[in-house]
Structure 1
Amino acid sequence: MHKSERLFQLVNLLKGRRLAVTAKQLAERFEVSERTIYRDIETLQSSGIPVQGEAGIGYLISDHPLPPMMFSLDELTALLLGSKMVSAWTDPTLSNHAKSAIEKIEAVLPAQLKHHSEHSPYLVSSFKHDAQQQTFSETLRTAIESYQCVKLQYQDVNDNHSERTLEPLGLVYWGGKWTLIAFCQLRQDYREFRLDRMQSLTILSIPFSTNNTKNLTHYLALIRAKYANESDENPVSC
C-alpha cells in the first residue's frame, strides 16, 4: 500500500473514535512496522491533523474540524466514474456540477492516483439527450424535490396522445432511456413515462405528499416482487 493511501485510511480509522488504538494494532491492521506507524502519526500531526495520544497508550482523532475528506484509490475511482456518468447523462445543471466535482478531484490527486485515473478501464460514453429531454429532466428534478404535481402531454409507443396530472416520484435510467416514475392521479396508481416520448411538461402549483404505499422505494419493491414471481413461474431450462 502506498504511503499516501495508508495515511488516508489511518485518518479515517482514527477520527471520531471513543477509544484509542495502539501503534501495535495499527501496525497489524496495515501490515507495517510500529516504527512506520510512529512516523505516519508524526506526518499527520505536522500537517495539522489533531491526532491525540502517545506511544504505548494509543491514538485517536478527536471531534475537531478536519481537512477535506480523503479517499482510497478504489473510492476515488468510484467517485470519478459516478461523476462522469452524471456529467454525461443528466440535465445541464447537474452535468455542470459533476464536471466541477471532477475538476476538483483531479486537481488534488497525487501523481500515482492521477495516472491511475487517466488509465481507468471504465469509459463513460458521451451519450446526450436532446435539448428538450434535458429541459424535461431538469423540470422534473425540480418538481420531485419540491413535491409539486406536473401536467404532462404524452405520446405512447402506439402514438396515442394523452394528458396526465402526475405526482413525480423519481427518475430512473434503465441503461438507454430515462423514465419518470410517477403516481398518476387519473389511474390512481404508479405509471412510467419515457422522457423521449414527452411532448410538453408544466409544473403545477399543486403540492403532493408521499406515504408508505406511494413512494419510489415502494414502487421499486413492487417491481422486484413482480420479476421474482415471473422468474419462479417461468424457470429457465438448461
Structure 2
Amino acid sequence: MHKSERLFQLVNVLKGRRLATTAAQLAEHFHVSERTIYRDIQDLQNSGVPIEGEAGIGYLIANCPLPPMMFTVEELSALLLGTKMVGAWTDPTLSEHAKSAMAKIEAVLPTHLKQSQDDSPYLVSSYSHDSKQQALNKQLRHAIENKQCLHLAYSDVNHTSTMRQIEPLGLVYWGGKWTLVAFCQLRRDYREFRVDRIASATTLSTHFNTSDDKKLSHYVALVTAKYANCTNKS
C-alpha cells in the first residue's frame, strides 16, 4: 500500500473509533511495523490533523472538522473518472463544476497515480454531446429542479412529430443517449423521451408537485419490478 493511501485510511480508522487505538493495533490492521505507524502519526500531526495520544496509550482524533479530501487512491480514481463523465455528458454549468472538482482531486493525487491516468483503460468521449445538446440538458435540469412543466415538440421512433406538455422528473443516461423521464399530462402516466429527439422545449410558468406515486424513484421501482418479473418468467 502506498504511503499516501495508508495515511488517508489511518485518518478514517481513527475517526471511526471513539476509544484510543494503540500503535500495535494499527500496525496489525495495516500490516506494517509499529515504527511505521509512529512515523505516520507524526506526519499527520505535522500536517494539522488533530490526533491526540502517545505511544503505549493509543491515539484518537479530536472532535473537530477535518479536511474533506480523505479518500483512498481507488476512491480518488473513481471520483476523477466520474467528474470526467459529468464534464463531457451533462451541461455547461455542471461541466464547469466538474472541471473545478477535477482540479482539486488531481491536486491530491500521488505522483504515480497522476502518471497512470494517462494510461487509464477508460476513455470519456464527448462525441455527440455538442453545445446545443448541452444547452438543452441544462434547460431540462433546471425544469426538473424547479418542478416546472415543459412543452415539448418531439419526434418518436417513427419520426412522427407530437406536442406534449409534461412534468419532468429526471434525466437518465443509458450509455450514449439521455432519456427524460416525465409524467405526461395527456396520457396521465410516465413516459420516456429521448433527449436527442426533442426538437424544442419551452419551460412553462406552471409548476407541479411530486408524490409517492409520481416521482423518479417510483418510476425506477416500477421498471425494476417489471424486468424482474420478466426474468423470473424466463
CA offset digits 1:4-30 (Å, max 9, x no partner): 111111112212632222212111110
Task: Tell me the CA shift for residue 49 of structure 1.
Answer: 0.9
Unaligned runs of 5+ in 1: none
* Alpha carbons 1:16, 1:62 under 8 Å: kept: no
Task: Tell me the CA shift for residue 95 of structure 1.
Answer: 1.6
* Alpha carbons 1:89, 1:128 under 8 Å: kept: no
Unaligned runs of 5+ in 2: none
Match of 1:213 in 2: 213
Match of 1:190 in 2: 190
CA offset digits 1:145-173 (Å, max 9, x no partner): 11111111111112222222211111011
SS in 1 for 2:181: strand
Match of 2:136 in 1: 136
TM-score with structure 2 length normalisation? Answer: 0.94
Determine whether 1:73 maps to 2:106: no
Match of 1:25 in 2: 25
SS in 1 for 2:171: strand
Q: Aligned residues: percent identity?
A: 68
Determine whether 1:95 maps to 2:70: no
Match of 1:61 in 2: 61
Determine whether 1:124 maps to 2:118: no
- For residues 195-206 of structure 1, the aligned pairs below 5 Å read 195-206=195-206
Task: Tell me the CA shift for residue 196 of structure 1.
Answer: 0.9
TM-score with structure 1 length normalisation? Answer: 0.92
- For residues 29-40 of structure 1, the aligned pairs below 5 Å read 29-40=29-40
* Alpha carbons 1:155, 1:197 under 8 Å: kept: yes
Distance 2:42 2:56 in 1: 15
Q: Which amino acid aligns with 1:25?
A: Q
Q: How many residues align?
A: 234
* Alpha carbons 1:16, 1:60 under 8 Å: kept: no
